[in-house]
Amino acid sequence: MKTPLSQKSTIDDIRVRFDQDVERFSNLETGQTATIDAPMAMELITQAAISATPEIVRCLDIGCGAGNNTIKLLREYSGDFDCDLCDLSEPMLKRAEERLSLETSGTIRKFHGDVRELPLEEEGYDLILAAAVLHHLRDERDWETTFTKIYSLLRPGGSIWITDMVSHENEKIHAIMWKRYADYLTDLGGKEYQEKVFAYIDKEDSPRPLTFQLDLMKKVGFENTEILHKNSCFAAFGAYKGVK
């Protein structure tokens, strides 16, 4: 990444981009084509969430977009549950609410804004989903503050499941993995498409290594962590909050 953290996209910049991209993220199959193994990652965190949390009463979807991950969870879970949706983009939230209302009789609540600042209920959730959102965090304090809040929001015995872009600790390994991603994007849409995606990643995103995130989860209190899948610079993983 060439752009320093201090010059990355602001929260408002990110919001504006996603306000304009609702339709693309309103399809379970095509919403994340720029992400390697996106359908597999979604399936894995869905299965893990259901396995780890046999009884889901309330779920929080951080950076819910148009609701794909919660919709997937509802379709595979044998019952309804309450859904809290959090996103910077009001149009995304509106679309997610519309789509989820066709999937569940549970209560759907929308929270418009940054999860770091929203007044969410401590120990209010059995399950938290965070798909393609945490890579917008910036410095280490930002990451630790966010993971600490996520931990506080989970009920004892609850879990969080994440799919996201990741970087690597070793620069040479990082270069190999990003070359693989570049090749994937080129095969998907040509060289111009690859350059376009890399340009907005450089401007907007600041992913951290999977190892960094797993260590941080343990630091803020999570009892156990799990790696479900990793391919190039994308991973699916999660963590459990211990029972008191």
Q: For 37-59, how does the pLDDT look when each residue is reduced to its tens digit (9 = 90+)?
A: 999 999 999 999 999 998 999 99
pLDDT digits (tens, 9 = 90+) for 171-202: 999 999 999 999 999 999 999 999 999 998 99
The pLDDT score that the predictor gives to residue 25 is: 63
CA–CA distance, 34 with 30 (Å, rounded to integer): 9
Q: Which residues contact 56 (CB under 8 A, 6 or more apart)?
A: 49, 50, 73, 77, 79, 81, 126, 127
CA–CA distance, 224 with 237 (Å, rounded to integer): 11
Paired residues of 234 in beta bridges: 165, 231
- pTM of the model as a whole: 0.94
Q: In this model, does residue 31 exceed pLDDT 80? A: no
Q: Which residues contact 30 (CB under 8 A, 6 or more apart)?
A: 24
pLDDT digits (tens, 9 = 90+) for 70-120: 999 999 998 999 999 999 999 999 999 999 999 999 999 999 999 999 999
CA–CA distance, 114 with 132 (Å, rounded to integer): 14
Q: What is the rounded radius of gyration, in angstroms, for the C-alpha atoms of the chain?
A: 17
Percent of the chain with pLDDT over 70: 95
CA–CA distance, 133 with 136 (Å, rounded to integer): 6
User: Which domains, from first to last, does the chain contain?
Assistant: 5-240 (3.40.50.150)
CA–CA distance, 158 with 82 (Å, rounded to integer): 15
